[in-house]
């Protein structure tokens, strides 16, 4: 009977076979680890930069609000109220002079979807002397009213478009089954052009439409 006994202190290992079999897998794992680590570090630096940018913007907004509050407090003093009132009147006259019914109706016609029409419109001024429009439109589809608000918000002539109220009237005459109250800020062409020239190439507007309330008859 023959017995084979290995008397070596360390058994023989075929390292070449090991690396041929597992080397590519280990290399791939190393590459993946490096990629993940790189993405993590890059994301951390990007988030840090974004936080710094947001902090600067908040600081600038706070400084602006402080300056505005100081200016308002200064103008609200009894000795300065006359100047404040006169400046408000002048601002209102300037804004009203830039308002054109023809231009407003043309701008609305460009964004008005099918099966929706204007019932009434009432211009005004808000606390910041911006031209505001309160409109009533009618149609047979709620989606069309939302489309109108989105088109207005995407245009250069309207901003902060809001559908404030909806009225459903199935017995209404004609094809109009719903009416919608819409409020928006109107930006005349002259004001929009001067703002664009002073700020350079403007960023594409983001459509954001608010819908407040719906009521049934």
> What digits encode the pLDDT tens for the residues 132-165?
889 999 988 889 989 999 999 898 889 899 999 8
One domain, residues 55 and 117: no
Chain segment 86-113, per-residue pLDDT in tens: 666 666 665 666 667 888 889 999 999 9
Is residue 7 included in any domain, yes or no? no
Is residue 199 included in any domain, yes or no? yes
Instruction: Using alpha carbons, list the distances in angstroms from residue 188 to 95, 109, 141, 209.
Output: 9, 15, 29, 20
| Cβ-based neighbours of 203, under 8 Å, separated by 6 or more | none
Is residue 39 included in any domain, yes or no? yes
Which residue carries 């901003």 as its tokens? 159
Is residue 95 included in any domain, yes or no? no
Is residue 5 included in any domain, yes or no? no
What is the domain count for the chain? Answer: 2
Q: How far apart are CA 15 and CA 12, in angstroms?
A: 9
One domain, residues 110 and 188: yes
Residue 136: which domain range?
100-215
Confidence of residue 181 (pLDDT cuts 50, 70, 90): very high
Q: Which of 90-94, 125-129, 212-216 has the lowest mean pLDDT?
A: 212-216
Strand 116-125 relative to strand 131-139, pairing: antiparallel
One domain, residues 110 and 197: yes
One domain, residues 108 and 66: no
One domain, residues 110 and 184: yes
144 close to 113: Cβ distance less than 8 angstroms? yes
One domain, residues 104 and 210: yes
How many C-alpha atoms does 180 have within 13 Å on its Cβ side?
26
One domain, residues 71 and 139: no
One domain, residues 114 and 189: yes
CATH number of the structural domain spanning residue 178: 3.30.70
pLDDT, residue 194, reads 47
Closest CA to 138 of 103, 173, 106: 173
Q: Which residues of 61-95 are buried (b: 16+ CB within 10 A; e: fewer)?
A: eeeeeeeeeeeeeeeeeeeeeeeeeeeeeeeeeeb
């Amino acid at each position: 009977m023959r017995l084979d006994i290995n008397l070596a202190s360390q058994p023989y290992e075929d390292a070449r076979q090991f690396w041929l079999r597992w080397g590519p897998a280990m290399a791939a794992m190393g590459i993946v680890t490096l990629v993940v680590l790189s993405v993590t570090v890059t994301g951390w630096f990007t988030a840090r930069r974004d936080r710094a940018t947001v902090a600067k913007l908040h600081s600038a907004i706070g400084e602006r609000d402080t300056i505005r509050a100081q200016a308002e407090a200064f103008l609200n003093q009894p000795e300065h109220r006359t100047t404040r009132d006169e400046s408000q009147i002048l601002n209102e006259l300037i804004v009203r002079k830039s308002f054109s019914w023809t231009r407003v109706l043309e701008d609305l016609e460009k964004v008005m979807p099918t099966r929706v029409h204007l019932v009434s419109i009432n211009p005004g001024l808000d606390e910041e002397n911006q031209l505001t429009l309160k409109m009533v439109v009618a149609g047979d589809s709620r989606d069309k009213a939302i489309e109108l608000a989105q088109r207005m918000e995407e245009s250069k002539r309207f901003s902060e478009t809001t559908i404030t109220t909806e009225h459903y009237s199935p017995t209404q005459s004609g094809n109009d089954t719903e009416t919608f109250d819409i409020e928006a800020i109107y930006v005349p062409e002259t004001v929009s052009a001067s703002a664009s020239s002073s700020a350079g190439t403007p960023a594409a507007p983001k459509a954001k439409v608010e819908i407040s309330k719906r009521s049934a008859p």
